[in-house]
């Protein structure tokens, strides 16, 4: 088990009597995706980030505006003069979250960034030396103004992906990696279409693989109803949207995870993939108010977003909206916000060989992983989706609808959002924690047994989730060297563990079987696994993790005898 610092960790202790001459066997089990991972073509050459965040400068851009909340009963006009006397001007008013954005009236940003006139930035009231004032100090000082409830820096955020070379739409290995072809036999998302908000750089509404897949959205960058993706480096939002719900089975382009889901584009990041927390929380609130059931945020920032953002996330969660966000592309650094909030599913990234992506942020907040890819396997080792492709012209370049390889936790995140849309379409309304639990409990365990800080619960398994194949449906038993069942047969537990309390010592075969279709025999679509073990003469013995594999039409397990659970 994993014990997290500063948190209460529930433990379940079961005492099982062991008879003389018998032993107990316990361990973890997991369901494998129906996928043969491709090994890397060359050794890993680095352990750092492969997909760095975009930046306007050589360093991370500082916050230049401050969020201000006015006390109840007051208006902006009531504090405008006080702000002006303190050297601040009002930049914008955000009506949905009732936030006012302010900045230094002379155009200077805090944190030591020089203004055009060479004056030092920042403001501490009652002082004349502003040269060492940080954005945090400036925000704290603003709270001394009568009528201001609180102030908080409007920190920057950024898209978490890096583009790669675009070309052909058939390289979607990342869908087989999470058993989507098998999942589509269960549901394609057309049962009851689900709306997924993509809070990002916008989308290309004219893309042939997104036509007919969009509901009205909003552009908070330019404050209008046209959230069109306007890239300067990559069409991040268009790529994310295609992974979730590109038009599928239409004879062109790429497939989406959920064929029936609809995309609500909410533009909060500019053409460079940068934005602020204030616009993101406006986007979240807008999406909630306009009927989104899932919100995908392939973006993040390192600084805590502040109380207003936290309240916005909590409000969306309590209203039944699932929030999914990227952990970040700076391995060794903390999980980004908003993924770090407990109400948000935090998604890390895996490679084509199911290993953890070397850029994927890790920590106790990681919920699950999904394919994010990497150029380590060549261009086709990244995630392929809809995009605006940069095309050279005689006088420069233009952007045309096309397809592109990208990699990063931004690319992993929409796989989970799309899977959640499939679940809601198949099963109807589900609380966010129920969706999260089903996805986690059916994920393929790849790291340390159970939950770990690298993979979270593991790599998502779309087929297992859609068939609700949790380990408490699986039966575990032991066969002797002659193939006879010996000892008891037991069901596993929801936390992906099992315990056989009466096992005869000696060499034997441990078997796990999950009867997906309930026909009481091993047949295609079920899960089956076995491994050779040696049971010690007495005591409790932990065995290596047992992997239950998807049974396809060519499996040797078909027709084999199945264990029957005993109570």
Residues 150 and 180 grouped into a single domain: no
237 CB contacts (<8 Å, ≥6 apart)?
198, 200, 201, 202, 203, 229, 265, 267, 269
pLDDT of 11: 59
Asked whether residue 315 falls in the same domain as residue 166, the answer is yes
Q: Is the pLDDT of residue 9 over 90?
A: no
Question: Last residue of some domain: 377, 399, 428?
Answer: 428
Helix, strand, or coil here: 513?
Answer: strand
Domain assignment of residue 360, yes or no: no
Distance between CA atoms of residues 99 and 102, nearest Å: 10
Asked whether residue 499 carries a pLDDT value surpassing 90, the answer given is yes
Which of 113, 132, 154 is the last residue in one of the domains?
154
Same domain, 163 and 87: no
Selected catalytic residue, list 49, 169, 187, 410: 410
Asked if 246 contacts 415 with a C-beta cutoff of 8 angstroms, the reply is no
- The pLDDT value given to residue 549: 96
Window from 76-90, 105-119, 475-489 with minimum mean pLDDT: 105-119
Q: Is 236 annotated as catalytic?
A: yes
Report which of residues 61 and 496 the model is more confident about.
Answer: 496
Q: Is the pLDDT of residue 48 over 60?
A: no
CATH of the domain at 518: 2.60.40.10
For residue 301, is it within any domain? yes
Cis peptide before 269 (omega within 30 of 0): no
Handedness of CA 342, 344, 345, 347 (dihedral sign): negative
Whether 546 has a pLDDT exceeding 50, the answer reads yes
115 pLDDT tier (thresholds 50, 70, 90): very low
pLDDT tens digits, one per residue of 372-424: 999 777 778 999 999 998 888 878 888 999 999 999 999 999 999 999 999 99
Quote the CA–CA distance of 435 and 315 in Å, as a whole number.
17
* Lowest mean pLDDT across 112-121, 241-250, 253-262, 484-493: 112-121
What range defines the domain where residue 137 resides?
Answer: 66-154
Domain end marker among 125, 154, 183 = 154
| 411 and 545 together in one domain | no
Whether residue 452 is contained in a domain is answered as no
Based on the domain organization, do 398 and 378 belong to the same domain?
Answer: yes
Mean pLDDT (whole number) for 476-493 = 90
Tell me the Cα Rg of the chain. Answer: 26
- Catalytic annotation present for 200: yes
The predicted structure's pLDDT at residue 281: 97
The answer to whether residue 536 scores a pLDDT higher than 50 is yes
What 3-state DSSP class applies to 400? strand
pLDDT band at 547 (very low <50, low <70, confident <90, very high): very high
Which residue has better confidence, 118 or 80?
A: 80
Is residue 233 included in any domain, yes or no?
yes
Instruction: Assess whether 107 and 218 both reside in one domain.
Output: no
Predicted pLDDT of residue 162: 34
What is the model's pLDDT at position 14? 54
Tell me, yes or no, whether 207 and 321 share the same domain: yes
Least confident stretch, 180-184, 192-196, 314-318 = 180-184
Burial zone of 135 (CB within 10 Å; 0-12 exposed, 13-18 middle, 19+ buried) = buried
Q: Is it the case that residue 108 has pLDDT exceeding 90?
A: no
Return the pLDDT at 394: 78
Query: Does the structure show a pLDDT above 60 at 89?
Result: yes
- How many structural domains is the chain composed of? 3
How many Cβ atoms are within 10 Å of 185's Cβ, its own excluded? 12
The number of beta carbons lying within 10 Å of the beta carbon of residue 379 is: 17
Catalytic member of 111, 154, 200, 445: 200
Find residue 262's DSSP bridge partners. 195
Local structure of 564: helix, strand or coil:
coil
Structure confidence at residue 234 as a pLDDT band (50, 70, 90): confident
Shared domain check, 344 and 209: yes
Answer whether residue 59 is part of any domain: no
Q: What is the CATH number of the domain that holds 343?
A: 3.40.50.200
Digit-coded pLDDT (tens) for 312-344: 999 999 999 999 999 999 999 999 999 999 999
The pLDDT value given to residue 2: 54
Q: Which residue has the higher pLDDT, 464 or 165?
A: 464
Residue 454: inside a domain, yes or no?
Answer: no
398 and 502 in a common domain: no
Q: Does residue 391 lie in a domain region?
A: yes
pLDDT mean across residues, the chain? 85
Give the range among 126-130, 387-391, 472-476, 492-496 with minimum mean pLDDT: 126-130
Residue 47 has pLDDT above 60, yes or no: no
Sequence-distant (≥ 6) Cβ neighbours of residue 110 within 8 angstroms: 62, 63, 64, 104, 121, 122, 133, 134, 135, 137, 138, 153
Residues 262-307 pLDDT 10s: 999 999 999 999 999 999 999 999 999 999 999 999 999 999 999 9
Q: What is the pLDDT of residue 504?
A: 81
What backbone phi and psi angles, to 5 degrees, belong to 427?
Answer: -105, -10
User: How far apart, in Å, are the Cα atoms of 114 and each of 29, 111, 128, 134, 431?
Assistant: 58, 9, 16, 13, 49
Say whether both 231 and 323 belong to one domain.
Answer: yes
How far is residue 297's CA from residue 280's CA, in Å, rounded to a whole number? 9
Residue 493: what pLDDT? 96
Residues 138 and 193 in one domain: no
The one catalytic residue in 34, 236, 407, 415 is 236
- Position 160 pLDDT exceeds 60: no
Q: Is residue 450 part of a domain?
A: no
Looking at the predicted structure, is the pLDDT value of residue 58 above 50?
no
State residue 49's pLDDT score: 28
Please check the confidence at residue 471 and state whether its pLDDT lies above 90: yes
Q: Alpha-carbon distance 205 to 125, whole Å? A: 48
Residue 126, pLDDT score: 36
Query: What local confidence, expressed as pLDDT, does residue 228 receive?
Result: 96
**Distance from C-alpha of 136 to C-alpha of 130, rounded to nearest angstrom:** 13
Q: Same domain for 132 and 270?
A: no
């Amino acid at each position: 088990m994993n014990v997290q610092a500063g948190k209460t960790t529930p433990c379940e202790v079961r005492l099982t009597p062991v008879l003389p001459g018998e032993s107990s066997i316990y361990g973890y089990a997991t369901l494998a995706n129906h996928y043969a991972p491709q090994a890397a073509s060359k050794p890993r050459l680095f352990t750092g980030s492969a997909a760095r965040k975009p930046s306007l400068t050589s360093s991370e851009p500082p916050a230049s505006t401050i969020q201000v909340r006015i006390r109840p009963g007051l208006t902006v006009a009531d504090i405008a003069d006080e702000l002006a006397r303190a050297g601040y001007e009002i930049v914008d008013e955000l009506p949905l979250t009732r936030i006012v954005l302010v900045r230094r009236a002379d155009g200077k940003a805090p944190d030591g960034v020089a203004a055009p006139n060479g004056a030092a930035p920042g403001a501490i009231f009652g002082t004349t030396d502003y040269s060492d004032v940080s954005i945090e100090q400036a925000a704290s000082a603003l709270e001394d103004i009568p009528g201001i409830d609180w102030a908080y820096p409007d920190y920057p955020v950024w898209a978490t992906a890096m583009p790669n070379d675009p070309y052909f739409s058939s390289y979607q290995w990342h869908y087989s990696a999470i058993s989507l072809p098998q999942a589509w036999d269960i549901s394609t998302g057309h049962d009851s279409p689900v709306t997924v908000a993509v809070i990002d750089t916008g989308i290309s509404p004219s893309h042939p693989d997104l036509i007919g897949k969009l509901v009205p959205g909003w552009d908070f960058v330019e404050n209008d109803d046209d959230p069109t993706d306007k890239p300067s480096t990559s069409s991040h939002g268009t790529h994310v949207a295609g992974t979730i719900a590109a038009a599928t089975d239409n004879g062109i382009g790429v497939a989406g995870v959920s064929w029936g889901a609809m995309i609500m584009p909410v533009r909060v990041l500019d053409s460079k993939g940068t934005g602020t927390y204030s616009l993101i929380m406006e986007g979240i609130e807008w999406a909630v108010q306009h009927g989104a059931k899932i919100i995908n945020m392939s973006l993040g920032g390192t600084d805590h977003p502040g109380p207003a953002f936290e309240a916005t996330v909590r409000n969306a969660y309590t209203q039944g909206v699932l929030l999914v966000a990227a952990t970040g592309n700076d391995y060794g650094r903390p999980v980004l916000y908003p993924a770090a909030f407990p109400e948000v599913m935090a998604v890390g990234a895996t490679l084509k060989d199911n290993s953890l992506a070397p850029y994927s942020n890790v920590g106790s907040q990681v919920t699950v992983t999904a394919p994010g890819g990497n150029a380590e396997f060549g261009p086709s080792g990244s995630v392929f989706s809809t995009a605006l492709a940069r095309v050279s012209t005689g006088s420069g370049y233009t952007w045309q609808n096309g397809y592109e390889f990208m990699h990063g936790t931004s690319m992993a995140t929409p796989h989970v959002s799309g899977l959640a849309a499939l679940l809601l379409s198949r099963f109807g309304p589900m609380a966010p924690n129920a969706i999260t639990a089903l996805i986690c409990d059916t994920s393929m365990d790849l790291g340390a047994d159970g939950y770990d800080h690298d993979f979270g619960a593991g790599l998502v398994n779309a087929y297992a989730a859609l068939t609700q194949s949790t380990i408490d449906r699986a039966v575990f038993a032991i066969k002797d060297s002659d193939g006879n069942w010996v000892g008891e047969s037991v069901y596993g537990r929801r936390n992906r563990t099992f315990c056989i309390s009466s096992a005869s010592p000696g060499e034997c075969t441990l078997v796990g079987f999950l009867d997906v279709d309930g026909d009481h025999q091993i047949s295609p679509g079920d899960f089956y696994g076995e491994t050779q073990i040696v049971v010690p003469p007495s005591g409790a013995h932990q065995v290596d993790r047992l992997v239950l594999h998807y049974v396809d039409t060519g499996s040797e397990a078909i027709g084999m005898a199945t264990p029957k659970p005993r109570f």
